[in-house]
Structure 1
Amino acid sequence: MRKIFFSGAVLTASLLLGACSGPESPAPAPSSQAGHNAADVTFAQQMIPHHQQALEMAKMVPARSSDPKVVDLAGRIDRAQDPEIRQMQGWLKAWGVAATSHSMPGGHEMSGDHTMTGMMSDADMKSLDAARGPAFDRSWLDMMIKHHQGAVEMAKTELAQGADAGAKALAQRIIDAQEAEIAEMRGLMKG
């Protein structure tokens, strides 16, 4: 096995360049073969389908929502999570690991024999898909809060157990962004 080591400056520069890459050029943040562990792999394998479901939920909003603030939030979720998916897929490829290992209901993939915290069931997604207007907004906000709480929990596990600096940095960004969005969504539900 070939080992590749990166200095802190190269890693920082690569992470910044990776964050600026366009959709047609997903650049995985560098990661040394020796610098990741099983927790990093699990984090990426589980966060990818978790984010994919959030994107699926976000894409429902424009045609169903009656609240421009919900539409705006869904757009921001879509723009933030799609590049993160590509970044994690790049890590898994660089680590020589499959992106996913087990199928979940609804075509989502996951690793392990349990359901991920915050994932919506097929019935939840069908119910959300059928709703419109204020009823859709309430359901979507409620489900997305739970979904984000699950992502925050997964990211906290990565911070506690992961070894890869890039994966841990992404986990912290997920915690910061999604906790702020949870607070925003709670405000919208009260409003």
Structure 2
Amino acid sequence: MKRTIPLIITPVLALALAACGGDDKESGGSKPGHSMSTSATPTTGQQAGQHNDQDVMFAQMMIPHHQQALEMAKPAKTKASMPEVKKLAADIEKAQGPEIKQMTEWLTSWGANVPSPGASMDHGGHGGAEGMMSAKDMAKLNKLSGMAYDKAFLEMMIKHHQGAVTMAKKEQSSGQFPAAKTMAGSIITSQTAEISTMRDLLKKM
């Protein structure tokens, strides 16, 4: 009898210890699970929700607006005669390309229509308030060269930037999506500064 008692106690004790260890594992494993689900919810909500009609309109109008700016900036990098105009064109392309990509991702996540790459020309007929150039304006610009090209490019881009600033200010006042309002603020700051630079360049001509 003395020999059998320890044999009975030992398995029971092992089972008790295993049960304690299992509880620790379960409680330890459940905490990260809760933590991960909590952190994932705001991210999803922030991307797909928390936006209004103004946010959608801002992205849908600014995408073709930016696309037209790139259509003007790409040839200017080689056609312009002034180094300052070439640099300005490169800066515009560098800034607005990624913004188009970001706004496209927002619209996709919201289930909204994404403007096609050729939408910029379609917009020109009624987008005067937003500073969009007509197809005729773009064709005229592309036929110019030398200082005449630089002057026309700067005058058209000033008007174009002014339209973007107007749209961005509306987004800041009426939009709801935080990232879109942040982008709008960045557009206002950067393009207002570029308008000032372009005006100074025109004065030097």
TM-score, normalized by length of structure 2?
Answer: 0.74
Q: How many residues align?
A: 163
Q: Deviations over 1:62-121 (max 9, x none)?
A: 3321101100110000000000000000000011111138x8573x569xx942510000
Percent identical residues: 48
What residue number does 2:60 align with?
Answer: 45
Is 1:138 matched with 2:116? Answer: no
**Which of 150, 156, 167 lines up with 2:163 in the alignment?**
150
Report the Cα distance in structure 1 between the residues aligned to 2:107 and 2:181, rounded to whole angstroms: 14
Q: Name the structure where helix makes up a greater proportion of residues.
A: 2
Report the Cα distance in structure 2 between the residues aligned to 1:89 and 1:31, rounded to whole angstroms: 16
- Segments of 5+ residues of structure 2 without an aligned counterpart are 1-39
Moved over 6 A (4+): none
Report the Cα distance in structure 2 between the residues aligned to 1:105 and 1:187, rounded to whole angstroms: 28
CA contact under 8 A between 2:49 and 2:110: conserved in structure 1? no
**Which of 175, 190, 198 lines up with 1:177 in the alignment?**
190
What residue number does 1:129 align with?
Answer: 142
Q: Alpha carbons of 1:5 and 1:114: their partners in 2 closer, same or farther (altered >3 Å)?
A: farther
**Residue 156 of structure 1 aligns to which amino acid in structure 2?**
K
Larger radius of gyration: 2
Report the Cα distance in structure 1 between the residues aligned to 2:47 and 2:69, rounded to whole angstroms: 29
**Residue 189 of structure 1 aligns to which amino acid in structure 2?**
L
CA contact under 8 A between 2:54 and 2:175: conserved in structure 1? yes
Root-mean-square deviation over aligned CA pairs: 2.3
Is 1:80 matched with 2:95? Answer: yes
- Segments of 5+ residues of structure 1 without an aligned counterpart are 12-29
Report the Cα distance in structure 2 between the residues aligned to 1:98 and 1:183, rounded to whole angstroms: 34
TM-score, normalized by length of structure 1?
Answer: 0.79
CA contact under 8 A between 1:105 and 1:121: conserved in structure 2? no
**Residue 178 of structure 2 aligns to which amino acid in structure 1?**
A
